[in-house]
Amino acid sequence: MLPYKIVHCPDLFASDQGESERNLIQCFEPPADTPDSGKFIVVLEEIDVLLGSNRADTLEARMASLLLDCIDSTSAFVLGTTSLPATLSEEIQRPGRLDTLVELHLKDAAARAAVLKIMLRRFGNIADSQKDIAQVAKKAYGFSPADLQNLCVRAFMEHRDVTVDDLLKITETIVPSSLSSFQSKIPRVMFSDIFGMDEVIARVRTLVLEPLCEPERFYEMKVEPPRGALVYGPPGTGKSMLCCAIANELAVNTIWVDASQVRSMIVGETERALADLFAQARKSSPCILLFDHIDALAPQRGTSLSSENTSDRIVTSLLVEMDGFGSHGMTDHLAPSVFVLAVTSRPHIVDPALLRPGRLDIHVGLDLPTAAQRMSILEGLLGKMPAAASISGNGDSLRKLVERTHGCTGADLANVCREAALCALRRDINSEMLTMADFEQSMNALNI
Ligand SMILES: Nc1ncnc2c1ncn2[C@@H]1O[C@H](COP(=O)(O)OP(=O)(O)O)[C@@H](O)[C@H]1O
Ligand SMILES: [Mg+2]
């Protein structure tokens, strides 16, 4: 066995002038028991902190170039660890430096089951049955070994005799750590929070949920299950809400991307950001990749005015990723995969190639609510406001509200209710009742 050194890179930084550099150089000095061959191993944990910045003339930049020098001149075998492989520069990954990238993740349910089996053995005598373990592993989409450990520890802290049901229940409450930065943003809405859209929800159930939950049935019929859906409609009609509900109802990993944010990344970086997103989604599959405001990311090609055709290149790489020929190769047909859910209020400017079969082939259109739908939405919203009981129980008042809100979206109606509550509070901070006058005042204020 070779002697080794483990260095925690963030600890290398010191406040004294030159001290950080000295610390780094010391890492590469051979340990005392190094054999004559001069071979030893240096493990640099969280190596990204040494390579994160490319600003000239800072301590970080000096450390980065010193690290490259050290790696080039050492006889040691250098192993870096990071949770942010995307931030590593190409310089460090050049042949002769850290040229091999080993990704550690549990690929599928079978891999998770194998890890769980070992963990459960250490924790006690539960779930000897392979079937039970497989059931938990299947539910634990995207879990890393640490997440699985977390699951086991919690189960054994909360229950004396842990059963499979306990494990399944706790699995639901754990957010896989690889996803947490994105996932925290998804609001907890369910189909039952969406009012007046029963028909659309029924369509979504058959068109989106079934293929996602039971892809096997499609493969049995020798057809590919759909890979994506486009949800379109005027602003405020509840598109984002519907998509969040789809994600929540399915309880699969969801990465929510506001396309207008990705778009604003530095030119050239967007493509890499896209590739990273798809890679992350594949890693956590089955996974929904939710692109809100897709029109900002994928406008029709050939219409961009910029000289570099940035938009066109982004659309092309989006198509490549969706077709599965991305950097990670074709996805295994039977492996659960990534479902792209795209949202736009301007479907006519989205590149048509994206809407072709095999890509976003399901189209779900939302429209301004009809009078009957406005009635259901108002009833639903008012039902959640205890102070509005007198209005929501009164058919005449409701009909008046419905009439006056012709042309309003669900978001407008939600606004009217919110504003009415504020009016009531302004009238009397202790008021416990919303009156029709509050609603009149609210609609006047909102120009409805
Ligand atoms: N059908 C509906 N039922 C209940 N609330 C709705 C409905 N439609 C819209 N809303 C309200 O409007 C808000 C904005 O909707 P959102 O999904 O962001 O619209 P869009 O994405 O289409 O612009 C939601 O957060 C919700 O409060
Ligand atoms: Mg929206």
- Kindly report, residue by residue over 41-54, the tens digit of the pLDDT: 999 999 988 886 56
Q: Which has the minimum average pLDDT: 229-243, 295-309, 371-385, 423-437?
A: 295-309
Q: 77 pairs with which residues across the strands?
A: 41
> Same topology for domains 183-365 and 371-445, yes or no?
no
The residue ranges of every structural domain in the chain are 4-87, 109-176, 183-365, 371-445
322 CA distance to ligand 1 middle (Å) = 28
Nearest CA among 396, 401, 414 for reference residue 375: 401
The residue whose C-alpha atom lies closest to atom 20 belonging to ligand 1 is 236
**Average confidence (pLDDT) over 340-350:** 93
In the chain, the percentage of residues whose pLDDT exceeds 90 is 35
143 CA distance to ligand 1 middle (Å) = 31
- Regarding the beta carbon of 238 and ligand 1, being less than 6 Å apart is answered yes
Give yes or no for a contact between 339 and 212, defined as CB atoms under 8 angstroms apart: yes
The residue whose C-alpha atom lies closest to atom 13 belonging to ligand 1 is 411
> For a pocket test of ligand 1, which of 231, 241, 295, 446 has the largest count of ligand atoms closer than 8 A to its C-beta?
241
Mean pLDDT of the chain: 84
Give yes or no for a contact between 277 and 312, defined as CB atoms under 8 angstroms apart: no
The residue whose C-alpha atom lies closest to atom 16 belonging to ligand 1 is 238
Alpha helices in 223-327 (DSSP H): 239-250, 259-263, 269-283, 294-297, 310-322
In the chain, the percentage of residues whose pLDDT exceeds 70 is 89
- Regarding the beta carbon of 240 and ligand 1, being less than 6 Å apart is answered yes
**CATH architecture under which domain 109-176 falls:** Orthogonal Bundle (1.10)
Residue position matching structure tokens 């990534």: 338
- Regarding the beta carbon of 239 and ligand 1, being less than 6 Å apart is answered yes
CATH 1.10.8.60 for domain 371-445, yes or no, is yes
In the structure, ligand 2 is a single-atom ion and the residues with CB under 5 Å from it are 240
**Average confidence (pLDDT) over 252-261:** 79
Given the candidates 3.40.630.30, 3.90.1640.20, 3.30.70.360, 3.40.50.300, the CATH classification of the domain at 183-365 is 3.40.50.300
- Selected residue with higher pLDDT from 271 and 443: 443
- pLDDT at position 128 is 62
Ligand 1 atom nearest the C-alpha of 235 is 23
Given the candidates 3.40.50.2300, 3.30.1330.30, 3.40.50.300, 2.40.50.140, the CATH classification of the domain at 4-87 is 3.40.50.300
260 CA distance to ligand 1 middle (Å) = 19
CA–CA dist 18, 438 (Å, integer): 68
Question: Given pLDDT bands bounded at 50, 70 and 90, which one contains residue 70?
Answer: very high
402 CA distance to ligand 1 middle (Å) = 17
From first CA to last CA, the distance across the chain in angstroms is: 78
